[in-house]
Amino acid sequence: MTAGDPKPIPSTAVCDLEVAVHESTDRAANTPDLLAQVYFGGPGQYQEKGWSVESSLEVLPGSGFHSQHWYTNGPVTQGEHANIRYSGHAQVLFGHLRLACPEPCDFQVLVKQAYQEIYDCLQHGTCNYLLRTWNYFPGITDPAASQSSRYDLFCSARLQAMQACNAESSIYPAATVIGSQSPFLQIYFLAGDAPGIAVENPRQTSAYDYPTTEVEAPPLFSRGVLKPWGGRMHFYVSGTASIIGHETQHLDDVGAQLNESLNNVETLVVHANDRHQTRLNAQDDLLCIKVYVRHRRDVPHIQRVLAARLPNTTPRILLLGEMCRSDLLVEIEALYQS
Ligand code: 3EB
């Protein structure tokens, strides 16, 4: 660049991001500031009109919201990178990838490809920081040919992709990994042009430090990620289960597992406030909670525990899905917005 060339103007605009949840699955008006819409309970496909993700997990009774709309201060454009479809602008990106996962398939190769595409996509643009990921695929605890579970292969492949893309040193995103009933690896994710702040739970061993006698490759995610957007604070809480230290608690007791998971989320919020001077209220700032349920017969019990623990105004959705450990019956994730 010579002295006379115009220099790119550094972006000083404040990026807003606001999430709204809705009871219906009605499509949002496709306004320029609509970053993404996420629908639950559909076939898990791309929509032709507008930019949306359909999560393939079945919605269970007791669910109060069925869609999420993510808004930013636009204008937003859509693009594609390899198998990824994304929507965004210089400061925020929401992406979706869906790969067929036939039987048999080399699952580790598939996941490595997916994450390499994700890191590649982010490195090609301005939104280099992965903040939050959602990962769904079939047969999560099934042993593969190598005797490792698909979840083990997932963790190994995610690590390999990070290494291949030199993304290892970055802050791990908040993440959810759940087994689905549809024959696809579905990943959707949020990224930004600035990193979030990782928050770990003092009651739980950090997943990336799980003893290597128990896991083949460490699960590379943060328990929670704080991210300011303009004047708003988001706190993305990862899939959270009934685990203390690194051990599952309350075997065969779904109610106690759910209570313990909720305790873990509350502890994480308190810890984030202590460490980072945020003022999140564990109840009032909870925009929505997702509850992944292994057995549909547990739904009434789960509804009763939620009714006892959450204000009845807190939007929730119950989704049928399998956890990565066979002894877990329930797992939750939370989105805080203040
Ligand atoms: C756990 O706490 C439960 O591998 O990215 C939850 C959320 C879990 C994310 C991941 C795994 C992951 O270890 C499992």
Q: How far is CA 178 from CA 50, 141, 219, 238, in A?
A: 26, 10, 13, 11
pLDDT value at position 213?
Answer: 83
Question: Could you identify the atom of ligand 1 that is nearest to the CA of residue 333?
Answer: 7
Ligand 1 site, residue 207, Cβ cutoff 6 A: yes
* Closest by Cα among 80, 99, 78 to 88: 78
Q: What order do you get walking across the sheet with 34-40 strand by strand? A: 17-22, 67-72, 34-40, 52-55
Ligand 1 site, residue 265, Cβ cutoff 6 A: no
pLDDT at 9 exceeding the cut of 80: no
Question: Could you identify the atom of ligand 1 that is nearest to the CA of residue 155?
Answer: 4
Ligand 1 site, residue 239, Cβ cutoff 6 A: yes
Distance 31 CA to ligand 1 centre (A): 35
Bigger pLDDT: 143 vs 6: 143
Region 205-228 average pLDDT: 93
Residue closest by Cα to atom 14 of ligand 1: 324
Region 36-48 average pLDDT: 71
Mutational pocket test of ligand 1: of 135, 141, 156, 177, the residue with most ligand atoms within 8 Å of the beta carbon: 177
Task: Tell me how many helices (H) and strands (E) the chain has.
Answer: 4, 18
Q: What is the overall mean pLDDT for the chain?
A: 92
* Closest by Cα among 3, 147, 173, 181 to 95: 173
Confidence of residue 1 (pLDDT cuts 50, 70, 90): very low
pLDDT at 44 exceeding the cut of 90: no
Region 195-212 average pLDDT: 96
Bigger pLDDT: 78 vs 7: 78
Condensed to tens digits (0 to 9), the pLDDT of residues 283-310 reads: 999 999 999 999 999 999 999 999 999 9
Condensed to tens digits (0 to 9), the pLDDT of residues 96-132 reads: 999 999 888 899 999 999 999 999 999 999 999 999 9
Distance 219 CA to ligand 1 centre (A): 7
Catalytic residue status for 331: yes
Using a cut of 0.75, tell me whether the model's pTM lies above it: yes
Region 13-39 average pLDDT: 89
pLDDT at 47 exceeding the cut of 70: no
Give one DSSP letter per residue of 267-323, joined into a string. HHHHHHHHHH-----TTTTEEEEEEEES-GGGHHHHHHHHHHHS-TTS-EEEEE-B-
Distance 50 CA to ligand 1 centre (A): 31
Q: Output the six-digit token pair for 321.
A: 């899905």
pLDDT at 52 exceeding the cut of 60: yes
pLDDT value at position 8?
Answer: 47
Residue closest by Cα to atom 5 of ligand 1: 175
Instruction: Check: CB of residue 199 under 8 Å from CB of residue 271.
Output: yes
Pick the catalytic residue from 54, 200, 322, 331.
331
Condensed to tens digits (0 to 9), the pLDDT of residues 63-86 reads: 999 999 999 998 999 999 999 999
Region 150-170 average pLDDT: 93
pLDDT at 162 exceeding the cut of 90: yes
Domains annotated on the chain, with CATH: 17-337 (3.30.1330.40)
pLDDT at 45 exceeding the cut of 80: no
CB atoms within 10 A of CB 182: 18
pLDDT value at position 3?
Answer: 47
Give the Cα separation of 261 and 239 in Å (integer): 9
pLDDT value at position 301?
Answer: 98
Distance 323 CA to ligand 1 centre (A): 9
pLDDT value at position 62?
Answer: 94
Condensed to tens digits (0 to 9), the pLDDT of residues 219-276 reads: 999 999 999 999 999 999 999 999 999 999 999 999 999 999 999 999 999 999 999 9
Confidence of residue 191 (pLDDT cuts 50, 70, 90): very high
Distance 157 CA to ligand 1 centre (A): 15
Instruction: Check: CB of residue 233 under 8 Å from CB of residue 171.
Output: no
pLDDT value at position 10?
Answer: 46
